[in-house]
Amino acid sequence: MSPTRAQRAAALEAWADDVDGDDLVEIDTDELKAIAQYAARRDRLETALADAVRVARSNGRSWSEIGTMLGVSKQAAQRKYSKLAS
């Protein structure tokens, strides 16, 4: 969970601790939980992908090869990952 998401979750928990129970209405939050779970997975996947690009670059792979594996142009791959891969 990113710090921003963690901070928002903490603020929501603090609010929940202070709210009057009579003011609450029960709702189904499954879709919101799913969004949070997918966002956390995306963050982990993005980190793993950046690590893989870093390893590929350190092993001499070109931006063209990396871009092909990502399904993007070499310029797009370089633009997104060059700072992370150095």
Q: What is the pTM of this model?
A: 0.65
pLDDT (tens digit per residue) in 3-43: 688 888 888 888 888 888 787 788 888 999 999 999 999 99
d(CA 25, CA 61): 55
Question: Domain residues of the chain, as ranges?
Answer: 3-18+31-85
Q: Is the pLDDT of residue 1 over 60?
A: no
- 8 in the Ramachandran plot: left (φ > 0), alpha (ψ -120 to 50) or beta? alpha
